[in-house]
Chains A and B, each alone.
Chain A
Amino acid sequence: MYAVETFELSKFYSHGRIKALQDFSLQVEKGKIFSLLGPNGAGKTTLIKVLIGIVHQTSGHAKLLNQSINKVSVHKKIGYLAENHRFPEFLSAHQILHYYGKMAGLGPSQLKKQIPALLKTVNLHRWENVKIRKYSKGMMQRLGLAHALLNEPELIFLDEPTDGIDPVGRRQIRDLLKSLRDEGVTIFVNSHLLSEVERMSDEVAILKQGKLIQRGTVEDFISIKEQYQIRLDSADTMQNICNDMKVPIKRENDLFTVSVQDDQQLNRLIDRLRQSKTMILAVIPKKITLEDYFIDIIEDKKGESD
């Protein structure tokens, strides 16, 4: 069962001169945190706007929670945090959640229960009656998040959710999103903060010039196959064993990086080290950061033809 399905979705502007999305097809499973990455102008926000109905697609179609995006009723089950959202500045956080909650179809009893709980969740409960024109950017972002969660949605779209939020706040939001995911909520995130995406996403897609160019788990992207980092208590025998086994090796203090042919060769290497009475402290699959991978992809070093 998919939470989001798009079928050759395209959006062109200026009579087709600007192609914000091109034949974009994607399925996102329910109960996952799915992140969309891409440079500025890649079409990430356009995709969310098309799915929400803020922008009309040029061609193709899409479904949210198995309903056509053209049906407004699907919005009952959806939460949305817009990038650079604007709430009326003359209202307090409590009043904003009250008005927009009513707009989302919540009754008085639900509002009475939901609003204080959400304000506490996003740590704004002490500011609930202060006019939002006095809020910092981080507070506005947290209010936006509370607004997105008002109707207890099954699917949440978050466009740059941690933008302007300090590291402690970011961790709180990350934990909140993970707990929502564990409750079965699907979370669709657009973010530039790759370290955040790396920490919380189950699946990632990379968008470039309106086209989907890569998709997979974070692990798929950041693991380098057949490369391992080995930490030893003594480095005496490592070089000789690797030379003997014809395993390329690099050394950084007590940390060795080896490129093996396969898992069997790695196991043979470990056996030789154990036979030589060398204490193995750690064997770690070599990884790069998501940021490194993203930059490689975007700069066309690899991937576009994958």
Chain B
Amino acid sequence: MKFLSIVQLTFRESLAKKTFIAFLIISTIINLLFLLALNLDIVDGMQSSISIFGEQTDQIINLQEIIYGVEGFVAVMLFTVGIFMALFATSGLIPTLLQPGFIDLFISKPVSRFEILSGRYLGAVAIVALNIFYLVIGTWLIMSLKTGIWNFGFLLGGALIVLTFAILFALMTLLGIVSKSGPLSLMITYLILFFSPLLKQRDSIYALLSSKIYGQIIDGLYYFLPKTSELGSITQRLTRGLEINTWTPLWTSLAFGIFIFLLSAYIFQRKNF
């Protein structure tokens, strides 16, 4: 009850920010677009014609390809633009919590500091999960009901997008506690997010390095930091119903998220406000 109220308050605080409302409106428009504008004429499980806004295409396309294409596009957009926006919208939550006069009210309650931080963290993840699943489940239901093809991989992809956000938000939580600055923690998290594809290509970088030690540093960073690029690929493969070659990037990124969150909790526990 006490812990839940912290989650609820954070959820309510996030909802008060216009970004999430805008995101919900955009998601609704996209879902309405799929619902009303896309017309699939199904014959014996195959699509015989497709029209968007009444304009018919003559090309014969496999129905499953359409589903995977549409849902794959939504997943990629959510993984890139969605996470980018979600990080932006939640960047102020931890620094706001630490403001003098605000944090005092939480600490004076019979809840531990770990519960306060966890409640705040889960509140942020919950609002982002709501936004992502609103679009994912909406699109999934519309596409599945229209075609009869139920792509559960898309739902798993949605879960992975939320998990990726949770991992990155753990980093933003740590940076927020240390710096008390929303913009700074956001910038560093973006840096890590966009640094990931570069680290994934580290084999191509080795030749450009002047010393072996730099290679070892890059290797160390690759194994330690969250592998958002690989997580993006896994999301895409899940959505398209393809086999996943390795889950290792997910486990190592999760381990990073848990370690960083526990470190945040340790620092938060010792801090004076």
From B8, which residue of chain A is reached at the shortest CB distance? A99
Distance between Cα atoms of A74 and B109 in the complex (Å):
9
Query: Is B202 an interface position by the 8 A CB rule?
Result: no
A49 touches B109 (CB 8 A): no
B110 touches A55 (CB 8 A): no
Number of interface residues of A (CB under 8 A): 30
Mask, A54-67, CB within 8 Å of B = 1, is 11100000000000
A76 touches B8 (CB 8 A): no
B104 touches A52 (CB 8 A): yes
From B3, which residue of chain A is reached at the shortest CB distance? A103
Q: Which of A75, A84, A85, A102 has the most CB of B within 10 A?
A: A102
Give the total number of A-B pairs whose CB atoms are below 8 A apart. Answer: 86
Q: Using Cβ atoms and an 8 Å threshold, which residues of chain B touch A99? A: 5, 8-9, 12
B1 touches A87 (CB 8 A): no
Mask, B28-62, CB within 8 Å of A = 1, is 00000000000000000000000000000000000
Query: Is B103 an interface position by the 8 A CB rule?
Result: yes
Q: Which of A72, A83, A91 has the most CB of B within 10 A?
A: A72
Interface of B is mostly: helix
Q: Using Cβ atoms and an 8 Å threshold, which residues of chain A touch B112? A: 72
A103 touches B106 (CB 8 A): yes
**Selected contact of B108 from candidates A80, A84, A88, A105, CB within 8 Å:** A80
* Given A82-B104, A103-B6, CB of A49 within 8 Å of CB of B273: yes
Q: Using Cβ atoms and an 8 Å threshold, which residues of chain A touch B103? A: 54
Query: Is A116 an interface position by the 8 A CB rule?
Result: no
Q: Using Cβ atoms and an 8 Å threshold, which residues of chain B touch A74? A: 110
Query: Is A90 an interface position by the 8 A CB rule?
Result: yes
The distance from the CB of A18 to the nearest CB of chain B, in whole angstroms, is 12
Q: Which of A54, A75, A100 has the most CB of B within 10 A?
A: A54
Mask, A188-231, CB within 8 Å of B = 1, is 00000000000000000000000000000000000000000000
A90 touches B5 (CB 8 A): no
A105 touches B104 (CB 8 A): no
Q: Using Cβ atoms and an 8 Å threshold, which residues of chain B touch A85? A: 101-102, 104-105
From A90, which residue of chain B is reached at the shortest CB distance? B16
A86 touches B107 (CB 8 A): no
**Selected contact of A56 from candidates B4, B6, B272, CB within 8 Å:** B272
From B271, which residue of chain A is reached at the shortest CB distance? A56
From A77, which residue of chain B is reached at the shortest CB distance? B110
Distance between Cα atoms of A86 and B102 in the complex (Å):
5
From A82, which residue of chain B is reached at the shortest CB distance? B104
Query: Is A104 an interface position by the 8 A CB rule?
Result: yes
Distance between Cα atoms of A12 and B101 in the complex (Å):
21
A54 touches B108 (CB 8 A): yes
**Selected contact of B107 from candidates A54, A83, A100, CB within 8 Å:** A54
Distance between Cα atoms of A95 and B272 in the complex (Å):
28
Query: Is A78 an interface position by the 8 A CB rule?
Result: yes
Distance between Cα atoms of A52 and B273 in the complex (Å):
11
Query: Is A73 an interface position by the 8 A CB rule?
Result: yes
* Given A91-B12, A103-B2, A103-B106, CB of A55 within 8 Å of CB of B272: yes
Distance between Cα atoms of A86 and B9 in the complex (Å):
14
B13 touches A105 (CB 8 A): no
Query: Is B99 an interface position by the 8 A CB rule?
Result: yes
* Given A54-B273, A99-B8, CB of A75 within 8 Å of CB of B110: yes
Query: Is A147 an interface position by the 8 A CB rule?
Result: yes
B108 touches A102 (CB 8 A): no
Interface residues of B in 70-105 (CB under 8 A from A): 99-105
Distance between Cα atoms of A76 and B1 in the complex (Å):
14
* Given A78-B108, A90-B16, A104-B109, CB of A84 within 8 Å of CB of B5: no
Q: Which of B101, B104, B107, B110 has the most CB of A within 10 A?
A: B104
17 interchain pairs, CB-CB under 8 A: A53-B108, A54-B107, A56-B270, A73-B110, A80-B104, A80-B105, A83-B101, A85-B102, A85-B104, A86-B102, A87-B105, A90-B12, A102-B5, A103-B111, A104-B109, A105-B1, A107-B1
Binding site for A on B (CB under 8 A): 1-2, 4-6, 8-9, 12-13, 16, 99-112, 270, 272-273
Given contacts A82-B108, A100-B5, 20 further A-B pairs with CB under 8 A are A49-B273, A52-B104, A52-B107, A53-B107, A54-B108, A55-B273, A74-B110, A75-B109, A82-B105, A86-B100, A86-B102, A87-B102, A90-B13, A99-B8, A100-B109, A102-B1, A102-B2, A102-B8, A104-B2, A105-B110
- In the complex, the 5 A-B pairs of residues with the closest C-beta atoms, listed nearest first: A102-B5, A80-B108, A90-B16, A86-B101, A75-B110
